[in-house]
Chain A
Amino acid sequence: MNKRFLVFLSSRKSWTLPYIIFSAIFVVIPLFLIVVYAFTDDNGHLTLANFQKFFEHPEAINTFVYSIGIAIITTLVCLLLGYPAAWILSNSKLNRSKTMVVLFILPMWVNILVRTLATVALFDFFSIPLGEGALIFGMVYNFVPFMIYPIYNTLQKMDHSYIEAAQDLGANPLQVFLKAVLPLSMPGVMSGIMMVFMPTISTFAIAELLTMNNIKLFGTTIQENINNSMWNYGAALSLIMLLLIAATSLFSTDDKDNSNEGGGLW
């Protein structure tokens, strides 16, 4: 037994051990704690009161639904703006410059709060009122690079003979797009949607800054509760968001191995 353990330790497999221990402490147990806190009250007694409170609170539910709505609109606008951009960037007939691609991804590396404040400054500059429109524009501005990059990646790896085949077989440009290009780029679209929808649904500070506290999103509600020491209720709200995230990721199952094969940006 002892010997077998030593064999394990001397093999490469044991190199996962530090990470397994680390993940257990900092990923698995904390998630478990969210569940524990969500189903208990201040004294540690098992209860459903936290969820009851959510479902009996029209304000909380409204914020939740509203946040999903904003996230869906933001994701759609990002897709509509980002897809053509990704397509142009990946098309060697229309764009040959790699620098152009870098320019589009670059804003991802600027602090998100700085970017948001810059957007607020821009609205101020043109005296555009800070409301719903500003919120959606600001979110789109923040997240559109996350839509462009994965779509660009899949479009670039796409086998162009499919397009030629479709053209040879008499498809018009619209048919080529709908029947060949779009289905082939679906993995990129899906991961783009994930990369935009997830952060927009869980964002908090950005909405506050963009609307001068006029519009509250679900993330803000969670943060306020945690800050006001309502940990159990906050945990219950987090669990609801977690379930939403899990549902979304199940909805867009594509094999992750494929999309990560590229090895990142550089």
Chain B
Amino acid sequence: MVKKIFAQAYLWILLLLLYSPIVIIVIYSFTEAKVLGNWTGFSTKLYTSLFTTGTHHSLMNALINTITIALLAATASTLLGSVAAIGIFNLKSRSRKAISFVNSIPVLNGDIITGISLFLLFVSLGITQGYTTVVLAHITFCTPYVVLSVLPRLKQMNPNIYEAALDLGATPMQALWKVIVPEIRPGMISGFMLALTLSIDDFAVTVFTIGNQGLETLSTYIYADARKGGLTPELRPLSAIIFVVVLALLIVINYRAGKAKKK
């Protein structure tokens, strides 16, 4: 019993440490002070100013860029990765190992190496860096995670179901659509979610592939802002909103996953 209290206390202290900075951001999003840490009375001015058109044009643009880039990259890498996973699953062991190795490179590599290598690619090809190059770069480091989350699903699948579908007169395409896709869908969804979060969270790869045409994502915006010294106060409510949305999303997903498992 004492052991349990001790263990729970340890977990809670660690959680408190992990969350205290986030809590501080959320608390100080409700005051107007320019500098974080100054409390000048309760106010929701930062929230309203964040959503007033015109005032924080570039911040909102950065947010929109971040979201559209993440959606594009996650969709593309889910398609590319799922198709590749089905192909890899059907390969002979040796070629499968070779592709798996290439697939693991972006996962193991530091972000900075991926970023610089892609930067050198675009520079050598003389491609102007901007929106497209960022999306391509994000597809590059997201797809391996999709492959890694779809492959186990294929391994767990009962191959007889697919054969049965063919025996019952389904064309290979129908069998694929009606048998294989439903089996790997959970893997595709978790791959998509993973790709989405990785893309939104990315800074190191983005900063090397974004070019200097004035395009900003949230990460590069925050970085540029922090380097100038003062942080835009509106970042506080924005971070708070993002955190709450992510928290809600994760709780819903886990609740659903928990329910699905019980079934």
- Bound complex: CA of A266 vs CA of B259, how far in Å? 11
Pick out which of these stretches binds chain B: A25-33, A51-59, A162-170. A25-33
- Checking A22, A114, A199, A245 against B25 with a beta-carbon cut-off of 8 angstroms, the contacting residue is A114
**Is chain A's binding surface mostly helix, strand, loop or mixed?**
helix
Q: Is the CB of A104 within 8 A of B4?
A: no
Nearest to A256 among chain B residues (CB) is B104
B-contact bits for A94-138, CB 8 A (1 contact / 0 none): 110011101110110111111101110110110000000000000
- Bound complex: CA of A23 vs CA of B143, how far in Å? 10
Given A33-B117, A85-B10, are A20 and B201 also a contact pair (CB < 8 Å)?
Answer: no
Q: Tally A-B pairs: CB < 8 A.
A: 244
- Checking A19, A95, A245 against B80 with a beta-carbon cut-off of 8 angstroms, the contacting residue is A19
- Checking B89, B153, B258 against A98 with a beta-carbon cut-off of 8 angstroms, the contacting residue is B258
What residues of chain B lie closer than 8 Å to A242, measured between beta carbons?
A: 109, 113
Q: Is the CB of A110 within 8 A of B121?
A: no
Q: Is the CB of A114 within 8 A of B10?
A: no
- Bound complex: CA of A42 vs CA of B230, how far in Å? 37
Q: Is the CB of A121 within 8 A of B108?
A: no
Q: How far is the CB of A77 from chain B (nearest CB, A)?
A: 12
Question: Could you list 25 A-B pairs, sorted by A, with CB under 8 Å?
Answer: A14-B87, A15-B83, A19-B80, A22-B140, A26-B137, A27-B102, A27-B106, A30-B121, A81-B14, A88-B11, A110-B246, A111-B203, A113-B223, A114-B239, A115-B22, A117-B235, A121-B28, A121-B37, A203-B204, A222-B116, A242-B109, A245-B108, A263-B152, A263-B190, A264-B194
Interface, chain B (partner A; CB < 8 A): 3-4, 7-8, 10-11, 14-15, 17-22, 24-25, 28, 36-37, 80-81, 83-84, 86-91, 99-100, 102-106, 108-114, 116-121, 123-124, 136-137, 139-140, 143, 147-149, 151-153, 186-187, 190-191, 193-194, 197, 200-201, 203-204, 207-208, 218-219, 222-223, 226-227, 231, 235, 239, 242-243, 246-247, 250-251, 253-254, 257-258
Interface, chain A (partner B; CB < 8 A): 11-20, 22-23, 25-31, 33-34, 37, 81, 84-85, 88-89, 91, 93-95, 98-100, 102-104, 106-107, 109-115, 117-119, 121-122, 124-125, 141, 144-145, 194, 198-199, 201-205, 208-209, 219, 222-223, 226, 231, 234-235, 238, 241-242, 245, 249, 256, 260-266
